[in-house]
Amino acid sequence: MTTTTRDAALEAVGLGKRYRRGWALRDCTFELPTGRVSALVGPNGAGKSTLMALSTGLLRPTSGVIRVLGKEPGGGGTHQELAFLAQDKPLYRRFTVDEVLRAGQALNPGWDHAYAHRLVREAGVNLDARVGTLSGGQRTRVALAVALGRRPQLLMLDEPLADLDPLAREEVMQTVMAEVAETGMTVLLSSHVLADMEGVCDHLILLAAGRVHLVGDVEDLIADHRLMIGPRRPAGHGLRPESVVEARATGRQETVLVRDGGWHGATGWELHEPTLEELAMAYLRSASPQRPARTRQETVA
Ligand SMILES: Nc1ncnc2c1ncn2[C@@H]1O[C@H](COP(=O)(O)OP(=O)(O)OP(=O)(O)O)[C@@H](O)[C@H]1O
């Protein structure tokens, strides 16, 4: 079936994926609008890689629907306009870098050979080197050149920065952002390092235990939340429980993340807009069964 929601590069409706041992994704509904750079955030096992595998068609949903650039991934392989850089960056180890790029050219109709070559050269990787002899970071740069050489409309990167030094992380993100600026490409980027996403991502999808806990444009999400900092009060923070995402006490101070205007009318607090990292961390802690935050109904004693 082909449905057209052309404003969404990626769309999930009631999406679920069940492996033999249980649900990896459950009842996920969200949209990633075209042209956004989205941070896919979640703890280990949250379902991030599963979501990407469903998007590429490597896996089929157990329930619900996923659409990539308006189409459900089907038997025809990965959407022509989607490029996916998997966590383990699968490249033929015996090929030279040049051979990898020539394979990219042979396999992809829209391939931009000059551009892929330039990306590899800029990364300082020798075209004659065999893939098996490259460092983890160099392999990432080659895999990124292969992904971007396709000039995709949607680029999905699963933990692309994990084995890169700080300088290389910055260079990779600059390469991706230059392509975004030039072509309006949509990006979905999973990472555990929230600091890497700050200032780069303008959209957030936060998964925990297979469910979407927060999704939307970063600007809107930040505007909808405040960090409230004030003295710890014996009678509790006194805020509407349904507006409190997380309350944390450190010493005599208390920090509360509040949503949906729950801060209006409260007195004796310093109010700050949260950073993307503060926002995501509060939601991740409040969703974590191992590290329960004081949320919603609970008050600080
Ligand atoms: N092929 C598989 N067979 C069975 N269970 C799987 C398979 N792949 C993933 N899972 C399970 O599905 C859940 C989600 O895994 P997934 O790899 O999608 O999470 P993730 O958010 O990408 O994690 P990480 O950050 O550790 O890479 C986990 O509980 C995992 O054990």
Give the number of the atom of ligand 1 that is nearest the alpha carbon of residue 43. 25
Ligand 1 centroid, distance to 29 Cα (angstroms): 19
Ligand 1 centroid, distance to 24 Cα (angstroms): 6
Amino acid making up residue 54: L
Question: What lines the ligand 1 site, CB under 6 Å?
Answer: 19, 21, 24, 42, 44-50
The lowest-confidence range among 182-186, 213-217, 240-244, 248-252 is 248-252
Give the number of the atom of ligand 1 that is nearest the alpha carbon of residue 210. 14
> Is residue 276 over pLDDT 50?
yes
Ligand 1 centroid, distance to 54 Cα (angstroms): 12
Q: DSSP string covering 119-177, please? A: HHHHTT--TTSBGGGS-HHHHHHHHHHHHHHT--SEEEEESTTTT--HHHHHHHHHHHH
- Taking alpha carbons only, the member of 134, 200, 202, 132 closest to residue 163 is 134
Give the number of the atom of ligand 1 that is nearest the alpha carbon of residue 17. 12
pLDDT in tens, 36-65: 999 999 999 999 999 999 999 989 999 999
Distance CA 1, CA 295 (A): 42
What pLDDT is attached to residue 253? Answer: 92
Ligand 1 centroid, distance to 261 Cα (angstroms): 36
What pLDDT is attached to residue 6? Answer: 54
pLDDT in tens, 240-269: 889 999 999 888 899 999 999 999 988 889
Residue ID of nearest Cα to ligand 1 atom 4? 19
- Taking alpha carbons only, the member of 188, 182, 183 closest to residue 202 is 188
ipTM of the complex: 0.97
> Is residue 83 over pLDDT 60?
yes
> Is residue 164 over pLDDT 70?
yes
Domain covering 34-61+75-218, topology: Rossmann fold (3.40.50)
Give the number of the atom of ligand 1 that is nearest the alpha carbon of residue 51. 18
Q: DSSP string covering 78-107, please? A: S-TTEEEE-TT----TTSBHHHHHHHHHHH
> Is residue 295 over pLDDT 50?
no
Q: Supply the mean pLDDT for the chain.
A: 88
By most ligand atoms within 8 Å of CB, the mutation choice from 26, 28, 44 for ligand 1 is 44
Distances (CA, A) of 166 to 110, 126, 278: 32, 21, 21
Q: Check: CB of residue 81 under 8 Å from CB of residue 132.
A: no
Residue ID of nearest Cα to ligand 1 atom 27? 44
Neighbours of 296 (CB within 10 A): 15
Neighbours of 108 (CB within 10 A): 18
Distances (CA, A) of 90 to 86, 100, 112, 138, 268: 7, 11, 20, 13, 55
Q: Tell me what the mean pLDDT of segment 223-233 comes to.
A: 93
Domain ranges of the chain: 34-61+75-218, 224-287
Which band of pLDDT confidence, cut at 50, 70 and 90, is reported for residue 290? low
> Is residue 163 over pLDDT 50?
yes
Distance CA 23, CA 291 (A): 21
> Is residue 87 over pLDDT 70?
yes
The lowest-confidence range among 31-45, 72-86, 185-199 is 72-86
Strands 203-208 and 211-217: antiparallel
pLDDT in tens, 17-27: 999 989 999 99
> Is residue 101 over pLDDT 50?
yes
What pLDDT is attached to residue 301? Answer: 26
Q: Tell me what the mean pLDDT of segment 265-283 comes to.
A: 93
What pLDDT is attached to residue 289? Answer: 67
Ligand 1 centroid, distance to 25 Cα (angstroms): 9
